[in-house]
Amino acid sequence: MLISTLAVAVRDRERLQEISAAVSRFGLGVLLARVGLENGAGDTETDEHTLPRRLRQALEELGPTFVKLGQILATRADLLGPEWITELEQLHSRAPTLPFSELRPLVEAALGMAVEEAFAGFEVEPLAAASMAQVHRATLMDGTAVVAKIQRPGIRPRMEADIRLLTQLAAVIERSSAAAPRYQPVTLVRQLADGLLAELDFTNEARNAELLRADFADDPRIVVPAIHAALTSPTLLVMDFVDGAVPRDAQTLRAAGLDPAVIALLGADMVLDMVLINGRFHGDPHPGNLLCLPRNRIALLDLGLIGHVSRRRQDEFLAFGQAVTTGDAALLADVLGTWSTGGGVSRASLARASERLIGEHGGRLMIGPLIRSFLTLMREEGLIMPPDLMLMFKALLTMDGVLSAIEPEFDLLGAMRRAMVRVAGLRLAPDHWLPLVRALGIEIARLGDDAPRLLRSAVRRLEAEPAAPVEQGPTHMMRAARLIAAAILIGCVMITIALIAR
């Protein structure tokens, strides 16, 4: 470990010096001291109340990798107190626009042709600029209005260096501090690295867009702009231009001729369908990544971060909602036990957390306040959430913030009930259970072929065994009974399958 740490420090020494200078300038040595990496002496400012603000400022100065790390930490209310979360939620990437003359060589290298050969028109003034990319409007040869998302030059090597340094730092912290393992620094950095490397390859965003387009193909109210694959590469993404209203408040939507109540209902149905039915959701549905279109439709933008929900997690989330709305503390304790990582969680802690959450939110499903209380409670009880669940909760919280801004009295309970009805309908549909029945039939048929042999073997063994002593007789009898019962059950199931298949 020491050798690899030294190797990374030498390889990325310039970036390491920049990071060290920022730590010193913002007086963050005290944070390193808490995990055993520095003594904290020499900090120019040690006021505990300003630490969260200074950390945010340092992360913003250090660029997109650290901003993204801070944004991940902002979702971890199960680990950090409210003063840290409030400050980290304000993180944003400050990125100056670049003249198109600096981007043109990158665009033409990605296209394999001159800009004028690929586009009928290209606006050199950027539409938007962020830390990882700059966006320009353009027009295809057939007249289609598009946007071109261009990766900033030199950003990949810098972010890869950041990831190497953070990976080594996380490993050192996890070994050096008794308290650090609870915060899972290695897991956090791995989550950061996976997300950043995926976002650096724009073909991943193109693939995500196509998957979400397929998920909502039957719902014209949800719009995912089409990707122009022939012009898209790891550093250039070309997609249809969509013009609409940003869902910041009800007045903005009404001014655009839209109905905030209808948009709120659609947004709730959309995010619940993504989580509970499609198993694939927009990881960051903030207002800048959503547009409201005429006829009360919603467009999804910036699909670099997509979360996935397994069938097991869907069932657990449904149980979580059911437990809260019905006041079932025992069921909620079971869900919390499943969700808490790290082991060593007592049943008493789970019961205490469940009863408190039911007491505060039982019978309602105001998703924002519920999740915030839930994560605070998890932190106080020493329970830690798995990263995949945190991304899902972050998406739900973000969407809840959008819905609350455009429809303050909106309650997710009705939307949740509708979603549960849709889930039940899909799982009872023949398209869902017939493949399972076929697979079960094949497995039973395979076992059924062996049933006569197993039954004959059991009978021969019973005939060959000497009479058992009285105290052992019941055990042998029970074993034989189970064998015979299994054979009879297999036979009955086979007959049933045969009758169904007629």
Say which residue the tokens 């009978």 belong to. 459
474 contact partners, CB below 8 Å, separation of at least 6: none
Same domain? For 144 and 43 the reply is no
70 contact partners, CB below 8 Å, separation of at least 6: 55, 56, 59, 88, 91
pLDDT of residue 93: 62
Same domain? For 362 and 465 the reply is no
Contact 5, 172 (CB under 8 A): yes
Choose one of 428, 450, 466: the last residue of a domain. Answer: 428
Same domain? For 24 and 64 the reply is yes
Contact 265, 247 (CB under 8 A): no
Which residue in 8, 283, 380 sits closest to 163, CA to CA? 8
Phi, psi of 244 (to 5 degrees): -165, -175
Same domain? For 65 and 180 the reply is yes
Contacts of residues 208-213 at CB distance under 8 Å and 24 or more positions apart, as own/partner, are 208/303, 208/304, 208/306, 209/239, 209/303, 211/280, 211/306, 212/280, 212/282, 212/300, 212/303, 212/306
The count of structural domains within the chain is 4
Tokens standing for residue 387: 């990263």
Q: Could you give the CA distance from residue 274 to residue 432 in angstroms, rounded to a whole number? A: 18
Assign 283 to helix, strand or coil.
coil
Q: What is the DSSP letter of 124?
A: S
* DSSP secondary structure letters along 185-238: HHHHHHHHHHHHHHHHSHHHHHHHHHHHHHHTTT-TTEE-PPB-GGG-BTTEEE
Other beta carbons within 10 angstroms of residue 499's beta carbon come to: 8
- Cα 353 to chain center, whole Å? 24
Same domain? For 167 and 125 the reply is no
Q: How many CA atoms lie within 13 A of 446 on its CB side?
A: 5
Same domain? For 234 and 294 the reply is no
Other beta carbons within 10 angstroms of residue 390's beta carbon come to: 21
Choose one of 428, 460, 479: the last residue of a domain. Answer: 428
Choose one of 241, 272, 292: the last residue of a domain. Answer: 241
Q: What residue type is assigned to position 174 of the chain? A: E
* DSSP secondary structure letters along 364-395: ---HHHHHHHHHHHHHHTT-B--HHHHHHHHH
Q: Could you give the CA distance from residue 137 to residue 121 in angstroms, rounded to a whole number? A: 9
Which residue in 79, 23, 32 sits closest to 55, CA to CA? 23
pLDDT tens sequence for the chain (502 residues): 555 555 666 677 888 888 889 888 888 888 777 665 655 544 545 567 789 999 998 998 888 888 888 877 887 777 788 888 888 888 866 678 899 999 999 999 999 999 999 999 999 999 988 888 999 999 999 999 999 999 999 888 888 899 988 888 888 877 776 666 666 788 878 888 888 888 889 999 999 999 999 999 999 999 999 999 999 999 999 999 999 999 989 999 999 999 999 999 999 999 999 999 999 999 888 888 899 999 999 999 989 888 899 999 999 888 888 888 888 889 988 888 888 765 566 788 888 888 888 888 776 667 777 787 888 877 777 777 777 788 888 888 888 888 888 988 777 767 877 887 888 777 776 665 566 666 666 666 666 666 666 666 766 666 665 555 544 445 555 555 555 555 555 555 554 444 444 4
Same domain? For 332 and 404 the reply is yes
Residues in the chain: 502
Q: Could you give the CA distance from residue 260 to residue 256 in angstroms, rounded to a whole number? A: 10
Same domain? For 257 and 275 the reply is yes
pLDDT of residue 318: 86
Same domain? For 41 and 134 the reply is no
Q: Could you give the CA distance from residue 208 to residue 156 in angstroms, rounded to a whole number? A: 21
Same domain? For 227 and 289 the reply is no
What residues make up the domain containing 111?
96-151+201-241
18 contact partners, CB below 8 Å, separation of at least 6: 62
pLDDT of residue 336: 85
Other beta carbons within 10 angstroms of residue 305's beta carbon come to: 23
Same domain? For 177 and 119 the reply is no
Contact 74, 89 (CB under 8 A): yes
Query: For residue 115, what is the domain's CATH number?
Result: 3.30.200.20
What are the start-end ranges of the H helices in 301-386? 311-326, 329-339, 347-361, 367-380
H or E element at residue 148: strand 145-151
Phi, psi of 105 (to 5 degrees): -60, -35
Same domain? For 351 and 496 the reply is no
Torsion (CA) 54, 60, 66, 70 in degrees, nearest 10:
60
Contact 81, 379 (CB under 8 A): yes
Which residue in 194, 162, 173 sits closest to 388, CA to CA? 194
Its pTM surpasses 0.95: no
Q: Could you give the CA distance from residue 118 to residue 111 in angstroms, rounded to a whole number? A: 8
